[in-house]
Amino acid sequence: MAFGRSSTGRRKRPVEPVTLKILVAGGFGVGKTTMVGAVSEIRPLRTEESLTEAGRPVDDLEGVEAKTTTTVAMDFGRITLREDLVLYLFGTPGQDRFWFLWDELAQGALGAVVLCDTRRLEDSFAAIDYFERRAIPFAVAVNRFEGTARFPGETVRAALDLDPEVPLLMCDARSRESVRDVLVAVAEHALTLAARTREPVTT
């Protein structure tokens, strides 16, 4: 006891958590909204609107004919990894006409997930190119939709022309555990690259 007060009765000071930001990107209808919702501990913020006949010329529904809505701004979710560590997820809109939002969403991001559908693999090229040009660490996750052909990772990596160091994972965007593994891979990849840039240059 000090100055007549017991130290055991003192409350612990609240911990100010460190916040990390990861983007979830990819083509139209690839499962970004589903991925954010699968792991978010809060009700995800979604900015979805119904698809209309007017949008059919620019919204390619081949392979995702059952899709009835589209993200027009972003999806947002949150995961508390530890008392002092919180992860924010931002799902980007997939259509080209909403790309002006990407620069805003990418500011301060630790890294990104590029979610792919092997039926529409070419839709992933633009997102991969975006993160490569801006030196934002990213991992590629192949969303294994039911009834689609399964390809070896090496085949997908070659088709996307990925650098060997870019993580490539197979996932189920509906599964919390599967999505968690993808996010861990992104974080580890980003931290590895950050540590590499801090290494002293020897001559």
Give the pLDDT confidence of 13-51 residue by residue, as tens digits: 677 788 999 999 998 889 999 999 999 998 877 654 444
pLDDT tens figures, 55-64: 444 445 454 4
pLDDT of amino acid 64: 46
pLDDT > 70 fraction of the chain, expressed in percent and rounded: 74
**Tokens matching residue 144:** 């294994």
Q: Above 50 in pLDDT, residue 190? A: yes
pLDDT of amino acid 201: 58
Query: Is residue 197 very low, low, confident or very high in pLDDT (cuts 50, 70, 90)?
Result: confident
Query: Is residue 148 very low, low, confident or very high in pLDDT (cuts 50, 70, 90)?
Result: confident
User: In 3-state terms, what secondary structure has residue 107?
Assistant: coil
pLDDT of amino acid 100: 73
Q: How far apart are CA 11 and CA 89, in angstroms?
A: 32
Q: How far apart are CA 157 and CA 118, in angstroms?
A: 11
| pTM, to two decimals | 0.76
Q: How far apart are CA 180 and CA 132, in angstroms?
A: 23
pLDDT of amino acid 43: 83
pLDDT tens figures, 119-147: 999 999 999 999 999 999 999 999 999 88
Tell me how far the alpha carbon of residue 26 is from its chain's centroid: 9
Q: How far apart are CA 181 and CA 203, in angstroms?
A: 38
Q: Is the domain covering 15-198 a CATH 3.90.180.10 domain?
A: no
Tell me how far the alpha carbon of residue 103 is from its chain's centroid: 15
Domain limits, the chain: 15-198
Q: How far apart are CA 41 and CA 27, in angstroms?
A: 25
pLDDT of amino acid 28: 85
Give the lowest-confidence range in 94-98, 155-159, 178-182. Answer: 94-98
Q: How far apart are CA 197 and CA 199, in angstroms?
A: 6
